Structure 1
Amino acid sequence: MRKGVLTLAIGVLAACGGEAPKQPTVFSVSTKDELVLTSLPSIRQACPGLDKYAGSFQNARVEEQFRTAIVFDINERNAIPEPYKAGGHSCFVEIEKDGSAILIEKKACKSVCLDRLDTPDGQLKLPLVSAK
């Protein structure tokens, strides 16, 4: 009986001393680009995986290409489900010039954005809710 109580007490104490509860993460990028700043809340809403896995990203930045793009690198070691095959990728979230939609090409990046393995073939185009 004493051994069972002792084992239970150790188990309870071990459970109390674990990691601190994780704080919610918010995907962000440091920029002064007005299109990115106004679109980012809608982008985060359209891509729930961005906030969920933000701790697995590094070097988030804005690049001007054909469209304005939010670019981030995904760490090799990450908290993203293995089937997404996202480790080591650089993801590009391109924003339409009028802020009405985003476009994502890579399958791994589409999986991270949507937080699901099953993604549409080809370019993923997601409409954005207007912040205006």
Structure 2
Amino acid sequence: MRKGVLALTLGVLAACGGEEPKQPAEFSVSTQDELVLTSLPSIRQACPGLDKYAGSFQNARVEPQFRTAIVFDINERNAIPAPYKAGGHSCFIEIEKDGSAILVEKLACKSVCLDRVDVPDGQLRIALNQ
């Protein structure tokens, strides 16, 4: 009898799941910019937080700046850890003209990119594997 009750209890608990809502598994930006299209896979690899928190971003776009920049806004309500203090920020990931590296300025955006609180001071430069 105990085995039957245990099996039933485990079955009910498994059905409840408590799963978080599924978020997009891949960060993307709609563009025809060749530099962005060729660099994006390496950028996603260099910044694991982009795919992990993609469901918390909106309005991803490409903006021509001094460097080509991928820009996205972070929702106030998001799935990003609170210590990152990322809600409400617009993040800029600038791509070197030759696609060899990216640069990220804001502290919150560096935390999201690297998926950690402890990030380097100043401008974050990450070499890309292309």
Equivalent residues, number: 129
Q: 1:107 to 1:20 in 2, by over 3 A?
A: closer
Matched residue of 1:88: which SS? coil
Deviation at 1:14, TM superposition (A): 4.4
Decide whether the 8 Å contact of 2:102 with 2:126 is kept in 1.
yes
1: distance between equivalents of 2:82 and 2:23?
Answer: 23
1: distance between equivalents of 2:21 and 2:97?
Answer: 39
Letter aligned with residue 121 of structure 1: D
Q: Which residue of structure 2 lines up, in the alignment, with residue 121 of structure 1?
A: 121
1: distance between equivalents of 2:63 and 2:84?
Answer: 24
Q: Which residue of structure 2 lines up, in the alignment, with residue 49 of structure 1?
A: 49
Alignment of 1:1-40 (within 5 A): 9=8, 12-18=11-17, 19=19, 22=22, 25-40=25-40
TM-score, normalization by structure 1: 0.87
Letter aligned with residue 82 of structure 2: E
Letter aligned with residue 16 of structure 1: A
Decide whether the 8 Å contact of 2:105 with 2:124 is kept in 1.
yes
Letter aligned with residue 9 of structure 1: L
2: distance between equivalents of 1:128 and 1:114?
Answer: 14
The root-mean-square deviation of aligned C-alpha atoms, in Å, is: 2.3
Letter aligned with residue 94 of structure 2: E
Q: 1:107 to 1:30 in 2, by over 3 A?
A: same
Gaps of 5+ in 2: none
TM-score, normalization by structure 2: 0.88
Decide whether the 8 Å contact of 2:56 with 2:80 is kept in 1.
yes
Gaps of 5+ in 1: none
Matched residue of 2:14: which SS? helix
Structure 1 segments of 4+ aligned residues over 2 angstroms from their partners? 5-12, 17-24
1: distance between equivalents of 2:70 and 2:46?
Answer: 14
2: distance between equivalents of 1:14 and 1:24?
Answer: 26
Deviation at 1:22, TM superposition (A): 3.5
Identity of aligned residues (%): 77
Letter aligned with residue 53 of structure 2: Y
1: distance between equivalents of 2:20 and 2:41?
Answer: 27
1: distance between equivalents of 2:71 and 2:62?
Answer: 6
Deviation at 1:15, TM superposition (A): 3.0
